[in-house]
Structure 1
Amino acid sequence: MASLPSLRPLADDAVRGPARWLASWGRLVVLAAMILVLVLTPSTWRREGRRQVARHIYASTAPSLLWFTLLVALVSLIIIRIVVATALNYGLSQYALEAVIRVLVLELLPLSAPVFVALRYSIPMADGLYARRQQQARQVSADARAAGDGVLEPGTAPALQSVATEFMPRAVAGVFACVMLVAISCVATLMLAYFTVYGFVLSGLPEYTRRVGQVFNASVSLIFTLKTIFFSLAVSLIPLTSSLYDASTRMSRSRVELHGIVRMFAVILLVEVASLVGNYS
């Protein structure tokens, strides 16, 4: 039988585990609130602030916009052809277009674009920010850091100025990239679906518009919009929060990245399940 002293570390871990979990999500909420305040503050959008945000938006969106759109168009065209051909073979052609819209536009594209932005921009950006802050912390003396010279020590709460210059532009850029890629990929897929089903004519546009409108009713449109927003916030804020608060001397860089990835995909999974329940319950 285990003695009382040997059980004490297990009890401490059982108590500290949920406390650390709640603290990590609380820090995420605090950082999101600070970024929201800065976004709504007019002084943030002065010339230098606009320049920083525009630079990060370009870095997060422009390099991958064209080839991501082409890749999505190619995959979507293959899926559309398969669904339409299968529906024709089984005499269910009237349901082919609705199935394409629901599978691709409502589910796959809003999920694939944020995951792509996370792997292409958010996670490498957070890793680079963490490495740069670690390098700054090693170069600056302890007295200068204690005097509040603007260098942010790993694992400490950020000052509002540090959030405005380092975190807010990156978070806004991540959200913008997700929304932009979702919008462009959905529009491209809807156009490909129309041309595949009706051909290069305009006579089928009224019927096509009516069918799309039947799928995108008020509740579905609201769920689609909220899902896209929450996905964008998850892939933009969670890696930043991990690079800020989890970057302690007791945690390696790989462990910090892993914590951020697990949290991010957990939120994405919860949002996706909630959207499925809202759309099909």
Structure 2
Amino acid sequence: MAPPAALPRFQPLHAARRWLATWWQIVHLGALVGALLLTPSTYAPARRPLLARHLVGAALPLLGWFGVVSTLLSLVIARIVLVTAASYGLSQYALGMVVRVLVLELIPLAAALFVAVRVSVPAAAQLAALREGGALEALRRRGGSVLHDEVLPRAAAALFCMVLLAAFSSLVSLLLAYLLAHGFTPWGLARFTRQVGQVFTPAVSLIFLLKTLGFGAAVAVIPLGSGLHDRAGRSSPLPLELQGLVRLFAAILLIEVLSLMGNYA
């Protein structure tokens, strides 16, 4: 009778090296993607159809669904905040609270999670399938570029979706907040813009912009980096898609904590 197989020993140094190596590969990939997005040759006529196909194919199906979800969420939260503030005699602070809760915090976070689940993770699974099937190696042998032809269009589509959904939903939330507070009248516009301007100070606006771009970069790069570099096997008990999601959620949490510290510390 064969002896039972020995259980694998936990090697913290090896796990730490593998963790650092994976994050270095993801950061390196993000730097390459960011440099290519800022390079004019990326938008050359020969590359525009592929890039446009990924952008439209990713953004168009999401815009309607996320618009409906964000509209319902904004209606519910704005109504609760306005009614609660009025019951305590704090109506003058209600709109500021609605803008802070919805536009500054919930909408960018919801957009990042929505794009991650619907765009980035499926794109990372496609990239991993192409890698495992040998299609990426065949592309290299033909003289093609995996980064330009496979990674960059998917990353650009995720980043574009993130920024588009966050901007669109923020405008919808502001419009709904105004309608709930003042109704269908233009006479409250001056007061509303003044209250929104008091929330969006230069520092808060900068933090909001950096937070949105940070969410977009994380959603665009981390799942794709995991799909491109991770290998299924005994080194990790998690599936490839779940490994990318865990890294993505950790990055989103870190960005959210840093933004909260910048806004309220």
TM-score (norm 2): 0.91
Deviations 1:42-75, CA, capped at 9 Å, x for gaps? 3222223111111111111101201211221112
Partner of 2:109: 111
Contiguous gaps of at least 5 residues in structure 1: 1-5, 152-159
SS at match of 1:48: coil
Aligned counterpart in structure 1 of residue 244 of structure 2, from 260, 270, 278 = 260
Deviations 1:24-59, CA, capped at 9 Å, x for gaps? 111011111221232233322222311111111111
Deviations 1:127-177, CA, capped at 9 Å, x for gaps? 12211222236xx9xxx86x95159xxxxxxxx821011001111110000
Asked if 1 retains the 8 angstrom alpha-carbon contact of 2:128 and 2:228, the reply is yes
What are the within-5 Å matches in structure 2 for residues 42-191 of structure 1?
A: 42-136=40-134, 149-150=141-142, 161-191=145-175
1:253 CA displacement: 10
Q: How far apart are the structure 1 equivalents of 2:231 and 2:47?
A: 26
Asked if 2 retains the 8 angstrom alpha-carbon contact of 1:114 and 1:231, the reply is yes
Deviations 1:222-271, CA, capped at 9 Å, x for gaps? 00000000100111100100011103565799621111111000000000
Asked if 1 retains the 8 angstrom alpha-carbon contact of 2:112 and 2:219, the reply is yes
Q: CA RMSD in A?
A: 2.3
1:23 CA displacement: 0.8
Aligned counterpart in structure 2 of residue 195 of structure 1, from 179, 183, 199 = 179
Asked if 2 retains the 8 angstrom alpha-carbon contact of 1:56 and 1:173, the reply is yes
Q: How far apart are the structure 2 equivalents of 1:51 and 1:181?
A: 22
Compared CA separation, residues 15 and 81, structure 1 to 2 (3 A): same
Partner of 1:20: 18
Q: How far apart are the structure 1 equivalents of 2:235 and 2:50?
A: 30
Partner of 1:208: 192
Q: How many residues align?
A: 259
Asked if 2 retains the 8 angstrom alpha-carbon contact of 1:109 and 1:182, the reply is yes
Asked if 1 retains the 8 angstrom alpha-carbon contact of 2:140 and 2:146, the reply is no
Compared CA separation, residues 224 and 198, structure 1 to 2 (3 A): same
Q: How far apart are the structure 1 equivalents of 2:79 and 2:115?
A: 27
TM-score (norm 1): 0.86
Q: How far apart are the structure 2 equivalents of 1:123 and 1:174?
A: 10
Contiguous gaps of at least 5 residues in structure 2: 1-5
Partner of 2:3: none
Asked if 2 retains the 8 angstrom alpha-carbon contact of 1:118 and 1:235, the reply is yes
Identical columns (%): 47
